[in-house]
Each structure stands twice: as structure tokens, then as C-alpha cells.
């Protein structure tokens, strides 16, 4: 989530009739008016929601959204659900509609979880006792196996290569998982169950598919052909999905999202480098107030590491899904000696019914300046202004990013809201960030985008198994990278 008013509070805004920059009060720059369609029937509500969203959504051209197609596809089905009074189908259609727009800032929020929870239990309430991971070479392995679970009883060992799943080649089986139809977050105790968002990039979408492949209706069967480590023999296992309270989700989470917190933790690593854990910067009171305490805590960390003369820092923003852009730019200021553009902003203007330039935000150098090497750890849970930090650090003189995967690929300004019948709400971004070349930055397009790692950690058997066992493989690679940099080795090695 990115805070909209704070982004504009201290920046110049370009007015259409003026040739100079003039400040515009933040209170005059508000999201489109919230639409409340709770008093309408489902059909009318869907039609009006579609009209509003297709006009105000920030990335129609960039992502190639075909609104006419979406309306023609979903509206007749909504009519049928409305005529039948079928709330379950109506919810599922809303979810699939939202998931048709590959943007992590699109969201369907459920006031009540009874319908999505029932669907999740029916479609994915059972686990087969393992998690799987796709390697760089496209092989798929059992990354973790529940001791005494179905997979273990079937003879599957951690690291086993999965060849087929229900008679399909494993890659094809993963591709066939319909993520848009399974509200699985209600099964996962560590997730945000009431808010569901699509994946913005192809690689993140495939991660979700792999996560759901190993689940099914309780009592359903899965037939696997696999090869255990250190053997050439193929084996067959027939597994039964058992109720497990979503346990397989915790076996391997390469896109972890953190619990909201305004805490910044920092300490010295045994290898002599500094480590800063930057958690999601959420404003619990929704006050829009600038969190000075976070900036000062970060400054305290920089001072500590400067005084300790550490040659390199690791800034961990994995799972950081955003907050206030102004703060993100300020945090990055400790690593720049010259002013740098964080981003220009175009937003939907309800009065003009078009997108206008609202302003720009710069990274200004901050004291104390840190002149050592900086590595930012990222993952698919790094989102919104968390991605702004990652992108900015990657562009800093001695900065780089590192991870198994890139970030979420969703950098728009969210705040648009449409309240639907049944206690559901659609959220959407109405603003987009542009780089110095006036190009939309970070937000995905055709499945590509996000902040990709400058150094991508290999997804091989050794690394995936270690990660599943709780070893911080990405942190280890970051330390190794800093070792090479500080020793003067060729970083291409």
C-alpha cells in the first residue's frame, strides 16, 4: 500500500494553465470518489463498477486491458448469478474479474469470510504432505516433505524430482492450476485473509500455482511419478489430500509477506557487515502523518554502522509491501550524494476525467551519508513503495539488489474503492509512477516488470532445500557478494 496524500504534500504540482511549478494542497488531490453500490442489485452494481474502473484504472494502455472483452465475458454470468440469487457464484465472478487484471494493487476485500472460506475448504482444504519448487533448469522437486504425511508415506524424499502429476508432465500440471478460483488465503494463518490480489508478473503467478498444486479437496487423490535423490529409479505414489489447516503453505514461502510493523531492526553480522531489517511501513491510524520515528531509527542505524566502519550493508526489504513514498525516498537519501528522481506521478482527475501530471518526488541526500556497498534483499512480497526503495538502491552508486525472484511489480498509487453488494469491495490504483524518461516504472507489463535482482540467487536443489529448512540462503549470498566487493574481486565472478 502506498500513501497518496503524503506523496504530494511537499512536491510541486504542474497546473494545466501555468508555465511554472506551483504547490498544490494535498487535500485538493484526493482519490476518485468512493462508489457505494450496496443498494443496487448485482447486475447493475457490476455494470457501474465496470464503467468506473475502466475509466479510472491507471494502467489500461500499459497492461493492455481489454475492458470490452471483460464486460462481455463476465456480465452475462453475473446476470445469471443475480437471477438465481447465487452469492457464491457472484463472489467467485468478482474474484475472477479482479484477477483478470494483473496488478498487485487490484484487490477484492471481503467483509465476511464465510463464502471465500467455504470455497477454499472445498477446493484446497486438503494437503498432500509436501511443497514443490521449480528450479532454474525447469525441473520440479519436492522442496519439503511433512514427516509422517502422505508424501512421506508414499516414499517421496526431500529433493525428489517430480516427473508427472496426475498423468501430466509436472510443468503442465503447474500451468493448469486456476489461481483465480481458489481463495486460499483463508486457509493460511499467516496471510491477510480478507484481501485477495492477483499476481502482477508471470514468475509470481507461477509461484502461486506451484503453491496450490499440492492442495486439493479433502479426500481427493493425486498420482505422482517421481525420482528420489541418488537414484535413477522412477517410482509411483498415490496420495490422498488430508485436512491440515493449510500446513503446506508454511513449508516453503519464497514470497513471504511480513506482519505490519513500524519497527526497524539492525545489528552487526558475524562477517562484519551491517544488517537492517526494514518492515512494512503501515500507518495504523490512517492519519497520513509522516512517521518521523522510522526515519530517525534508520538514521540511528546508519550512524552506528558508520562509526563501526563497516564496509557493507545488507538492507532486508523482503516482504515489505509499502507505505509512504516520501519516507521511502528519504530512507534512500542516505546512499546518494546527488539528487535523484524517485518518480513523477500521473493521477486520474475526476473533474477532467483524464490523467494529469500531479507532481514529482526526489531523493535528496541525507546526513550521515553511507559510502560503503549496499545490497537490498528482495522477494515477490516486496511491493509498492518497498519496490521504490529496491529500485532506488539499485541505482545508487554502490547499491545492488539480490534474491531468488524479483519484486511484486505493482508500483501504482492505490486508493480507488468500489463497494459492492454482499460486503465486498474492489480496490484499484488510480495513479502511476514514471521515471526520468517519462516511462511507467516498475509496474508489470505482459507478465514482465518489477525490480529484478541485480544478482539472482540460483534456484538449484541445494539452495531450495536449504531455504526450506530455514536457512537464509539469500542472506548468505549477499554476504558472499559483499566479500567479493570488499576484497576487490571481479564481481562478475
Q: What is the rounded CA–CA span in Å between residue 215 and residue 260?
A: 28
| Same domain flag for 371 and 397 | yes
* Statement to judge: residues 231 and 269 lie in one domain: no
Residue in this structure with the C-alpha cell 479482479, named with its chain if needed: 98
User: Other CB atoms closer than 10 Å to residue 393's CB: what's the count?
Assistant: 25
**Helix/strand/coil for 473:** helix
- On whether both 363 and 390 belong to a single domain, the answer is yes
Least confident of 260-264, 295-299, 316-320, 462-466: 260-264
In tens, the pLDDT along 316-346 reads: 999 998 888 999 999 999 999 999 999 999 9
Question: Angle, nearest 10°, between helix axes 325-332 and 292-307?
Answer: 10
For residue 385, the number of C-alpha atoms closer than 13 Å in the C-beta half-sphere is: 26
Q: What is the pLDDT of residue 8?
A: 41
The answer to whether residue 465 sits within a structural domain is yes
Q: What percent of the chain has pLDDT over 90?
A: 81
Q: Examine residue 492 and state whether it is found in any structural domain, yes or no.
A: no
Q: Structurally, how many domains does the chain consist of? A: 2
Each residue's pLDDT tens digit, 348-370: 998 889 999 999 999 999 999 99
Parallel, antiparallel, or unpaired for β 424-434 and 340-349? Answer: antiparallel
Rounded to whole angstroms, what are the CA distances from 146 to 152, 154, 253?
Answer: 7, 11, 15
Domain presence at residue 258 = no
pLDDT of residue 323: 83
Which of 217, 250, 283 is a domain's end point?
250
pLDDT for res 289 = 77
Q: Give pLDDT, residue 362.
A: 98
Q: Report the pLDDT value the prediction gives residue 459, as an integer from 0 to 100.
A: 98
- Residue 16: the pLDDT is 27
285 and 227 within one domain: no
Concatenated DSSP letters of 107-126: EEEES--HHHHHHHHHHH-E
Q: Is residue 6 part of a domain?
A: no
- CA torsion sign for 68, 70, 75, 80 is positive
319 and 195: one domain?
no
The vertex-289 CA angle with 285 and 293, nearest 5°, equals 95
Express each pLDDT in 383-422 by its tens digit: 999 999 999 999 999 999 999 999 999 999 999 999 999 9
pLDDT at residue 28 tops 50: no
Q: What's the domain range around 393?
A: 264-413+431-487
Q: Do residues 100 and 200 touch, judged by C-beta distance below 8 A?
A: no
Domain finish residue from 225, 250, 275: 250
**In the structure grid, which three cell numbers stand for residue 251, read together?**
513449508
Q: Are 374 and 275 in a shared domain?
A: yes
Evaluate if residue 2 carries a pLDDT over 90.
Answer: no
| 187 in any annotated domain | yes
Judgement on whether residues 369 and 479 belong to the same structural domain of the protein: yes
Angstrom distance (rounded) from CA 312 to CA 273: 5
- Let me know if residue 202 belongs to a domain: yes
Residue 83 covered by a domain = no
pLDDT in tens, 263-289: 789 999 999 999 999 976 554 445 567
Residue 112 region, left (φ>0) first, then alpha (ψ -120 to 50), else beta? beta
Q: What is the pLDDT of residue 429?
A: 97
Residue spans of beta strands (DSSP E) within 304-434: 312-316, 340-349, 354-363, 373-377, 399-403, 413-420, 424-434
Q: Is 297 domain-assigned?
A: yes
The CATH number that applies at residue 351 is 3.90.226.10
Of the residues 250, 285, 311, which one is the last residue of a structural domain? 250
Q: Which three cell numbers stand for residue 261?
A: 510493523
- Is the same domain home to 189 and 313? no
Query: pTM for the complete prediction?
Result: 0.91
Identify whether residues 312 and 237 lie together within a single domain.
no
CATH number at residue 210: 2.30.42.10
Distance CA 274, CA 28 (A): 42
* Nearest CA among 274, 262, 392 for reference residue 338: 392
Same domain flag for 244 and 270? no
Residue 223 and residue 290 in one domain: no
Pair 275, 305: CB distance under 8 Å: no
Q: Is the dihedral of CA 288, 103, 109, 50 positive or negative?
A: positive
Q: Which pLDDT score is estimated for 260? A: 59
Alpha helix positions (H), 396-472? 461-468
Work out whether strand 161-165 and strand 221-227 pair parallel, antiparallel, or are unpaired. antiparallel
Q: Same domain for 193 and 272?
A: no
Amino acid at each position: 500500500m502506498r500513501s497518496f496524500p503524503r506523496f504530494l504534500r511537499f512536491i510541486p504540482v504542474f497546473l494545466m494553465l501555468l508555465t511554472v511549478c506551483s504547490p498544490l494542497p494535498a487535500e485538493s488531490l484526493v482519490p476518485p470518489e468512493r462508489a457505494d453500490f450496496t443498494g443496487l442489485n448485482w447486475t447493475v452494481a457490476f455494470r457501474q463498477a465496470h464503467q468506473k474502473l475502466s475509466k479510472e484504472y491507471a494502467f489500461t494502455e500499459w497492461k493492455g486491458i481489454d475492458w470490452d472483452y471483460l464486460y462481455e465475458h463476465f456480465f452475462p454470468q453475473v446476470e445469471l448469478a443475480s437471477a438465481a440469487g447465487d452469492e457464491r457464484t457472484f463472489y467467485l465472478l468478482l474474484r475472477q474479474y479482479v484477477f483478470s487484471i494483473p496488478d498487485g494493487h487490484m484487490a477484492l476485500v471481503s467483509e465476511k469470510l464465510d463464502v471465500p472460506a467455504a470455497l477454499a475448504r472445498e477446493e484446497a482444504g486438503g494437503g498432500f504432505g509436501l511443497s514443490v519448487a521449480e528450479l532454474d533448469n525447469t525441473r520440479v522437486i519436492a522442496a519439503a516433505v511433512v514427516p509422517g504425511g502422505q508424501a512421506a508415506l508414499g516414499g517421496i524424499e526431500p529433493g525428489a524430482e517430480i516427473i508427472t502429476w496426475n498423468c501430466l508432465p509436472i510443468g503442465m500440471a503447474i500451468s493448469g492450476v486456476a489461481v483465480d478460483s481458489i481463495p486460499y488465503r483463508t486457509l493460511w494463518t499467516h496471510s491477510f485473509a480478507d484481501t485477495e490480489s492477483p499476481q502482477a508478473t508471470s514468475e509470481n503467478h507461477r509461484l502461486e500455482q506451484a503453491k496450490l498444486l499440492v492442495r486439493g479437496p479433502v479426500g481427493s487423490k493425486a498420482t505422482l511419478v517421481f525420482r528420489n535423490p541418488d537414484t535413477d529409479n522412477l517410482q509411483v505414489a498415490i496420495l490422498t489430500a488430508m485436512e491440515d489447516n493449510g500446513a503446506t503453505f508454511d513449508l516453503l514461502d519464497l514470497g513471504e509477506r511480513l506482519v505490519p510493523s513500524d519497527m526497524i531492526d539492525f545489528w552487526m553480522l558475524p562477517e562484519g557487515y551491517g544488517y537492517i531489517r526494514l518492515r512494512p511501513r503501515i500507518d495504523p491510524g490512517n492519519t497520513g502523518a509522516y512517521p518521523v520515528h522510522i526515519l530517525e531509527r534508520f538514521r540511528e542505524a546508519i550512524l552506528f554502522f558508520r562509526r563501526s566502519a563497516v564496509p557493507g550493508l545488507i538492507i532486508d526489504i523482503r516482504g515489505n509491501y509499502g507505505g509512504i513514498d516520501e519516507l521511502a525516498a528519504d530512507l534512500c537519501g542516505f546512499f546518494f550524494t546527488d539528487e535523484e528522481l524517485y518518480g513523477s506521478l500521473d493521477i486520474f482527475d475526476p473533474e477532467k476525467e483524464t490523467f494529469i501530471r500531479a507532481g514529482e518526488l526526489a531523493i535528496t541526500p541525507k546526513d550521515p551519508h553511507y559510502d560503503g556497498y549496499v545490497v537490498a534483499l528482495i522477494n515477490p512480497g516486496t511491493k509498492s513503495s518497498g519496490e521504490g526503495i529496491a529500485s532506488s538502491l539499485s541505482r545508487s552508486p554502490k547499491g545492488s539488489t539480490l534474491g531468488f525472484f524479483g519484486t511484486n511489480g505493482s508500483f501504482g498509487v492505490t486508493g480507488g474503492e468500489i463497494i459492492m453488494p454482499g460486503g465486498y469491495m474492489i480496490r484499484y490504483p488510480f495513479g502511476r509512477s514514471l521515471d526520468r524518461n517519462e516511462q511507467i516504472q516498475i509496474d508489470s507489463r505482459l507478465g514482465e516488470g518489477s525490480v529484478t535482482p541485480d544478482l539472482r540467487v540460483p534456484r538449484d536443489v541445494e539452495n531450495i532445500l536449504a531455504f526450506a529448512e530455514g536457512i537464509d540462503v539469500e542472506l548468505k549470498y549477499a554476504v558472499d557478494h559483499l566479500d567479493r566487493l570488499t576484497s576487490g574481486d571481479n564481481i562478475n565472478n
